[in-house]
Chain A
Amino acid sequence: MVCHDGNWAPGLGISRREVLTGTVALGAIGSGRPSYADETQRPATALRQDNQVSKSMTLYIGTPTSRVDGRAKVTGEAKYAGEFNTSGLAYSSVVESTIPKGRIVRIDTSDALRVEGVLDVLTHENRPRMAGTDQAWKDDVAPEEGSPFRPLYDDKIMFSGQPIALVLAEEWEIARYAASLVRVEYEKQAFVTDLYQQRDQAFVVKKPDKPHGDAGRAFAAAAVRHEAEYFIPTEHHNPMELFASTAVWDGDDKLTVYDKTQGVQNVQRYLCSVFNKKSDDLRVISPYVGGAFGAGLRPQYEAVLAVLGALALERSVRLVLTRRQMYGLGHRPATIERLALGAKADGTLDAVTHEAIAVTSQFEDFSRNDTGWAALLYKSANAKYVHRLARLDVPTSCDMRAPGAAPGVYALESAMDELAVALKIDPVELRLRCYSDRDQNEGVPYTSKQLRECYRQGAVAFGWDKRSAEPRSMRDGSELVGWGMATGVWEALQMPAAARIVLTANGHAEVSCAASDIGTGTYTILAQVAADMLGLPIENISIKLGDSSLPQAPVEGGSWMAASASHAVATTAQEVRGELLALAKAMKGSPLADAKFEDTMLADGKVVSKQDASRAVSITDAMRHGAVDRIEKEKTNSFPDDSSHARNTHSAVFAEVKVDEQLGVIRVTRVVSATAAGRILNTKTAHSQIMGGVVWGIGMALHEETVFDHRFGRIMNANIAEYHVPVNADVQDIKVVFVDEPDTIINPLGIKGLGEIGIVGVAAAIANAVYHATGKRVRDLPITLDKLQRST
């Protein structure tokens, strides 16, 4: 993984050829050496005694490193948004609308206000001032089209569960009780929450990808055809942490807001805009985030209401939403997908049509393209992709783990399985026959694409060659056994980001960035990157994240944080090296007197020549001689805008299900995910990310569905008992295989990111396995036992 050919780190001034031909022998860096509970986990790089330079330069990158925030999380020290206690804190509780559409005619708060301990009840009639333009309410990742939701703004009701009043009280229980006493009279209006009622009104938001050839005609002429419609229901993220915000009143109209978010700077800019505050007067902090999965990308209403309460009371206010209220936030949109695949008899594709209709609200156009993934995976001379939206009286849908891909690729890869059945070709073989080395949409090659190896290694790890092709042909006692597979694909995006490094003369460095760690492991990978780039033991690195006052970071989403923040740290570390080299050169008789910047590196606590390891000055000595206590650098890293290559991660997912023949109970007994995602920074946390994605795929395939009663426009299972997510007993054997994927083009460190790829393809692999087990094709998720019993 480390041993890429060519100039593997051009942006950092490090070339592999250069360092390999040198004579540098740096040895292990003392106490900084990672330890392995299981010696078999020790990475190949650390064992390569013949390559001292690579070993020392990536002592941490690529190794299975335990989370640096692990201790805080297992001892309860890690504090989340609703846990910052402060003196004089007031508590609050939200009143939600019980109708999906209409107007508040009267809102009577008198009974609530009579409860002892209630401080105030805010409604649209008496709230403090908020901005009045759509522009002011648009956050960094808001949809381009539409009017963002404004809580407690006016009398208009746009969805069931909309916040319409905020009760402020001395204690939470009092606020909650008083909220139950607020009486609301509505003027109801006609509404619709059923996608199937609105599908004929669906519209195109973004210009569709340019069609290739004539997919309709080629489909009609194809030797073998498959056409079907698939359905993905509304899903909710359900992170374990309740959405919460603690707005601490700092006096003089200044506020510190502890908020559950994937982007502190996004929330900070948004709140400043909504409340017309100077950026110095409002700071947003979120050191730990109890999961979010996309729900925290946009600022949510708890932050607005906590600040509103604090401004009204001139006092600190906490708002913790209930689990039910979180169903009034964003969601993965219910989506209808239509696939039409036409193939030649040899199993190559000649026609691909993928059309999707996804839900959005009446007031914003949230659109993530579900279609077009086939163009990244499969060659076809004729292709057409169209993504449409349909408006319903629900909150605006939002990003949820692998938006667009999780549902779109589920449909595509289910259809490919059906085509394989029709062609009587093994599903893996079909994908290899259609394999594309180029992005068919853009007509460009990939920076790297080891998908063929994913298929191969995944199949071997799973034992795919022992599959009997015929449905219902494999059994284990009273259970039918099914083996299915699917492909996963996601984007490898990267964003501008900045990092600050403060190196002190005792050889410790503090690295800070406004990025959030939502459980993905950002703290840990940045500590690894910083340790390697600064040549220090990882114990000497401290990472500060999740504070809007820190250097610029994008929201944590889209799988772009690892690449973006790592390069910010690496770029800043280079600046630190420059200053250290200048100090080292200034020393009398310096062994580095004539060393060029690009010929040096930081390793083992020293500035060292790449050509001759004996030419070195310790960081401590350089700083002491220069009478420098601390070196502070902050740099922003941007990636060149290069459209000459497609950037994607890939996976091959293999699943085994066992289905009780009489009852139809489905268990997922084995999953293998073979993933190619560039350089893996931390095989331990990366494994967890992919495994977590697989668990999400199990939920998507078999459990998850937000159920509406369309007569009332209300969600019937707005809790975490009736909205089913996988529990421990639902998850058995998951094997994650990382396929080696050197990438010398994408970025200097070859990083692609892993947050989304783990889920993509999993639901299809399971659905295909269920078909293989039972001979029954269920095309509307989740696949529940009742659907296996129905006649059509």
Chain B
Amino acid sequence: MTQANTVGRAPTSPAPTKILVALDVNGRQRQLTVAPWTTLLDALRDHLDLTGTKKGCDHGQCGACTVLVDGRRINSCLTLAVMKDGAKITTVEGLATEGALHPLQQAFIDHDAFQCGYCTPGQICSAAGLIAEGKAKSADEIRELMSGNICRCGAYPNIVAAIQQAMGTMAGRS
């Protein structure tokens, strides 16, 4: 044991007061009390044990933390949980339905659109947001609009192919 720095001291710098936040996460109502400085990303990972959403930089630079908030893709590390009270959040854990993989998840496996898998949840959520936006039609447009999600393993061409496959599958369904 170390010499106890903790002995005989009283905290004089109080931690921030926590706030009750209600979130719809993957279709489930969740209530949590978090400090105002807690990001949506840390709320998901550390408070709700939804570790599928990844932290790669904590600065909105890598896209690993991408989730869907009210259907739009955002970097969850750049948003505070308290700002999203009442919002509908979809994470990678919420994409599969009744055990059946989302077309994007299946397409990522089919095209080997990942190696280490760490950027993958963010890529998939970002791609779901991209498809919902309806802007990207060509491979070039997909590349441009997926460039906020870094893949250090370099699976980009396979990611584009997977998104194109899922676009086809999803268009066929709707």
Instruction: Verify B9–A240 contact, CB threshold 8 A.
Output: no
Contacts known (A74-B124, A75-B105); A721 close to B59, Cβ less than 8 A: yes
Task: List residues 42-73 of chain A with CB under 8 A from any CB of chain B.
Answer: 66-67, 69-73
Is B30 part of the contact surface with A, judged by Cβ < 8 Å?
no
Instruction: Verify B52–A241 contact, CB threshold 8 A.
Output: no
Instruction: Verify A241–B118 contact, CB threshold 8 A.
Output: yes
Instruction: Verify B2–A120 contact, CB threshold 8 A.
Output: yes
Q: Would you give the shortest CB distance from B144 to chain A, in whole angstroms?
A: 5
Instruction: Verify B160–A240 contact, CB threshold 8 A.
Output: no
Q: Would you give the shortest CB distance from B6 to chain A, in whole angstroms?
A: 6
Instruction: Verify A78–B5 contact, CB threshold 8 A.
Output: no
Is A24 part of the contact surface with B, judged by Cβ < 8 Å?
no
User: What sequence of 0s and 1s flags, for each residue 108-126 of chain A, a beta carbon within 8 Å of any chain B beta carbon?
Assistant: 0101011111111110001
Q: Determine, out of A427-435, A507-515, A692-700, the stretch whose residues face the partner at the interface.
A: A692-700
Give the distance in Å from the alpha carbon of A128 to the alpha carbon of B38 in the complex. 31
Interface range for A: 35 or more
Interfacial chain B residues near A688, Cβ < 8 Å: 112, 115, 153, 155, 158
User: What sequence of 0s and 1s flags, for each residue 27-67 of chain B, a beta carbon within 8 Å of any chain A beta carbon?
Assistant: 00000000101100010011001111111111101101000
Among B6, B114, B116, B149, max chain A CB count under 10 A is at B116
Instruction: Verify B11–A240 contact, CB threshold 8 A.
Output: no
Instruction: Verify B116–A729 contact, CB threshold 8 A.
Output: no
Interface size on B, residues (CB 8 A): 72
Instruction: Verify B118–A290 contact, CB threshold 8 A.
Output: yes
Interfacial chain A residues near B114, Cβ < 8 Å: 70, 73-74, 519
Instruction: Verify B35–A173 contact, CB threshold 8 A.
Output: yes
Task: List residues 645-665 of chain A with CB under 8 A from any CB of chain B.
Answer: none
Is A734 part of the contact surface with B, judged by Cβ < 8 Å?
yes
Interfacial chain B residues near A75, Cβ < 8 Å: 52, 92-93, 95-96, 101, 105
Give the distance in Å from the alpha carbon of A240 to the alpha carbon of B121 in the complex. 12
Is A233 part of the contact surface with B, judged by Cβ < 8 Å?
no
CB within 8 A of A37: which of B58, B110, B148?
A: B110
Q: Would you give the shortest CB distance from B83 to chain A, in whole angstroms?
A: 15
Q: Would you give the shortest CB distance from B100 to chain A, in whole angstroms?
A: 11
Give the distance in Å from the alpha carbon of A650 to the alpha carbon of B136 in the complex. 38
Give the distance in Å from the alpha carbon of A727 to the alpha carbon of B121 in the complex. 17
Instruction: Verify A240–B15 contact, CB threshold 8 A.
Output: no
Is A288 part of the contact surface with B, judged by Cβ < 8 Å?
yes
Contacts known (A67-B112, A689-B115); A171 close to B35, Cβ less than 8 A: yes
Among A70, A85, A696, A728, max chain B CB count under 10 A is at A728
CB within 8 A of A238: which of B9, B35, B152?
A: B152
Instruction: Verify A685–B61 contact, CB threshold 8 A.
Output: no
Interfacial chain B residues near A694, Cβ < 8 Å: 154
Interfacial chain B residues near A109, Cβ < 8 Å: 5
Instruction: Verify A242–B153 contact, CB threshold 8 A.
Output: no
Interface of B is mostly: loop
Instruction: Verify A240–B1 contact, CB threshold 8 A.
Output: no
CB within 8 A of B147: which of A173, A289, A696, A728?
A: A728
Instruction: Verify A684–B2 contact, CB threshold 8 A.
Output: no
Give the residue name and chain of the B residue nearest to A80 (CB).
Answer: B118
Q: How many A-B residue pairs have CB under 8 A?
A: 223
Is B174 part of the contact surface with A, judged by Cβ < 8 Å?
no
Is A678 part of the contact surface with B, judged by Cβ < 8 Å?
no
Instruction: Verify A720–B117 contact, CB threshold 8 A.
Output: no
Is B157 part of the contact surface with A, judged by Cβ < 8 Å?
yes
Instruction: Verify A76–B5 contact, CB threshold 8 A.
Output: no
Instruction: Verify B156–A126 contact, CB threshold 8 A.
Output: no
Task: List residues 405-460 of chain A with CB under 8 A from any CB of chain B.
Answer: none
CB within 8 A of B3: which of A111, A126, A733?
A: A126
Instruction: Verify A519–B57 contact, CB threshold 8 A.
Output: no
Among A173, A240, A521, A729, max chain B CB count under 10 A is at A240
Instruction: Verify A687–B112 contact, CB threshold 8 A.
Output: yes
Instruction: Verify A83–B45 contact, CB threshold 8 A.
Output: yes
Interfacial chain B residues near A116, Cβ < 8 Å: 11, 13-15
Contacts known (A66-B110, A323-B56); A691 close to B101, Cβ less than 8 A: no
Is B170 part of the contact surface with A, judged by Cβ < 8 Å?
no
Give the distance in Å from the alpha carbon of A731 to the alpha carbon of B64 in the complex. 19
Is A539 part of the contact surface with B, judged by Cβ < 8 Å?
no
Is A137 part of the contact surface with B, judged by Cβ < 8 Å?
no
Is B159 part of the contact surface with A, judged by Cβ < 8 Å?
yes
Contacts known (A119-B6, A240-B56); A73 close to B153, Cβ less than 8 A: no
Instruction: Verify B143–A291 contact, CB threshold 8 A.
Output: no
Is A218 part of the contact surface with B, judged by Cβ < 8 Å?
no
Closest 7 CB pairs of A and B: A76-B52, A695-B154, A290-B118, A519-B116, A73-B117, A519-B115, A692-B154
- Ordered by A's residue number, 22 sampled pairs between the chains whose C-beta atoms are within 8 Å are A71-B101, A75-B95, A76-B53, A80-B51, A120-B6, A126-B2, A172-B42, A173-B42, A174-B15, A177-B37, A240-B153, A242-B55, A291-B115, A291-B152, A291-B153, A311-B2, A323-B62, A519-B115, A519-B117, A688-B112, A720-B57, A729-B143
A binding-site residues for B, Cβ under 8 Å: 37, 66-67, 69-80, 82-83, 85, 109, 111, 113-122, 126-128, 171-174, 177, 238-242, 288-291, 293, 311-312, 314, 320, 322-323, 518-521, 684-685, 687-689, 691-696, 719-721, 725-734
